[in-house]
Amino acid sequence: MSWKGRYLCRLLTRVPVRSLLSLVLAALLAFAFGALTVLRGIYGEAYRNVDVRGVFYGGLPYTAAQKLEKSGLVRDPGYEYINRDCEIEYHGGTLYFVSHIRYLAQAEVDWLEGWDEAAFDSSDEQVCVMSAGSALMMGFSLGDPVRVEETGYTSALARELDKWQTDEDWNETLVVRDQRRPRMQLVGLIQSDEYDNTLYIPVTAWKHFYWISNQLTLDLAEYSLTDYHRAEEFREYAKEVLSHVQNIVKLELDTSYADRIYNIHRLIETLYPLTIGAALLLGGILPGLTVLHVSREISILRALGVKTGACTGLYVMAQILCAFVGLALGFLLVLLIQRPDPGTIVRLFGLYIAAHLAACAAGSGIFAWLCARKHVLAQLQSKE
């Protein structure tokens, strides 16, 4: 081993407290960086996935719902309409119209060939899905047309046509009704009786309905805000859209959870670069101060004829080795304690390690170079 290698070993081992402090400092800084990175990832993910939903109760007119859909403030609409005392192929009862089949929990659906959940959700066609029990009761099978209507539609139509006084009038009214009622193809059967009396219709197909009043009122309409920071804007816009609606429509829009997530996320985002900056500053200055502490040794080496570059290199290398071991330990600690997904943290950690080592090299290098540039005789004339 050359004298430089031996001297380097001695630098690392002869003053273990000094080396240990450098190592522990690097490990702590790496752990702090790792922990904050993991936390940042968690809250960043939570912030990106935060879903603030605005829910309208009490009869939002379908025309208003369409306006809200087109406002650009919302996405992913979901509608519910309770069709009371309706007729499904001459069977009376209450039928729930629901737009999103994905709300089905754990229930299996037998699909007509060429259909599945995704195709159904995005379909613009007049299709529907109902429970297998209901279909059996009403004599439907997959592919059959199903006609539905709004509550009180037949009576309203009879009054509109003025065909309600005799049986003959009623028959004529029913003929017109069947012509006007939307025919929806049954494309799926839900294998669960929990969904009896529920008819699933894709959200984009709701516009095909012909409603006698032309003013279907949704019992429930819900939207995800495209940008939750525009919640107030959405609230104001909804107020404006609903200003001509007579019934009282209640909007439930709670941003408190999202606000909490956002505030923490913003705090972490602010602290993150500051923490990295402080860590790199410490990672550069403290090794530099350690080198400054041994400036006398550097002067002795200079007096013995060791070149400035070689002196600087020895002390920089010692500090880098300590820092590298410390950083590796810090990384292991993060993996053991925080248990992050290694794939997401390795790249960031690699960058941090590189930056930390660069700061360490720069800090110790600058101080070592300054020490090596000091006047050797002036340094060594005084007693230690």
Alpha carbons 361 and 45: distance in angstroms, whole number: 35
Alpha carbons 43 and 263: distance in angstroms, whole number: 10
- 322 lines the binding site for another protein (CB under 8 A): no
Q: Which is nearer to another protein, 13 or 246 (CB)?
A: 13
Q: How far is CA 79 from the centre of its chain?
A: 24
Alpha carbons 74 and 67: distance in angstroms, whole number: 10
Task: Look at the chain and count its residues.
Answer: 384
| In the complex, least distance from residue 334 CB atom to another protein, rounded to whole angstroms | 33
The piece of 4-12, 28-36, 156-164, 332-340 that touches another protein (CB under 8 A) is: 4-12
Q: How far is CA 107 from CA 28, 111, 250, in A?
A: 51, 12, 31
Interface residue with another protein, options 229, 239, 307, 347 (CB under 8 A): 307
Inter-helix orientation angle 295-303/308-337, to 10°: 140
| In the complex, least distance from residue 371 CB atom to another protein, rounded to whole angstroms | 14
- 383 lines the binding site for another protein (CB under 8 A): yes
Q: Which is nearer to another protein, 113 or 384 (CB)?
A: 384
| In the complex, least distance from residue 340 CB atom to another protein, rounded to whole angstroms | 40
Q: Which is nearer to another protein, 27 or 306 (CB)?
A: 306
Q: Quick check: 148 and 134 in contact, CB under 8 A? A: no
Q: Which is nearer to another protein, 273 or 305 (CB)?
A: 305
The piece of 86-94, 146-154, 231-239, 302-310 that touches another protein (CB under 8 A) is: 302-310
x/- mask, another protein, residues 358-377, rule CB under 8 A, reads -----------------xxx
Interface residue with another protein, options 297, 317, 335, 369 (CB under 8 A): 297
Alpha carbons 2 and 15: distance in angstroms, whole number: 20
Interface residue with another protein, options 306, 321, 327, 345 (CB under 8 A): 306
Q: How many residues bind another protein (CB under 8 A)?
A: 28
Q: Quick check: 356 and 280 in contact, CB under 8 A? A: yes
| In the complex, least distance from residue 378 CB atom to another protein, rounded to whole angstroms | 8
Helix locations, 162-307, DSSP H: 167-180, 231-241, 256-293, 295-303
Burial degree of 195 (CB within 10 A; 0-12, 13-18, 19+): buried
Long-range contacts, stretch 155-164, CB < 8 angstroms, 24+ apart: 156/212, 156/213, 157/212, 160/212
| In the complex, least distance from residue 300 CB atom to another protein, rounded to whole angstroms | 5
Q: Which is nearer to another protein, 200 or 315 (CB)?
A: 315
x/- mask, another protein, residues 11-30, rule CB under 8 A, reads x--xx---------------
If DSSP codes are grouped into helix, strand and coil, which group holds residue 44? helix
Q: How far is CA 251 from CA 30, 197, 223, 228, 232, in A?
A: 48, 26, 11, 15, 12
Q: Which is nearer to another protein, 274 or 378 (CB)?
A: 378
Interface residue with another protein, options 301, 323, 345, 359 (CB under 8 A): 301
- 303 lines the binding site for another protein (CB under 8 A): yes
Q: Rule CB under 8 A: which residues touch another protein?
A: 1-3, 6-7, 10-11, 14-15, 296-297, 299-307, 375-377, 380-384
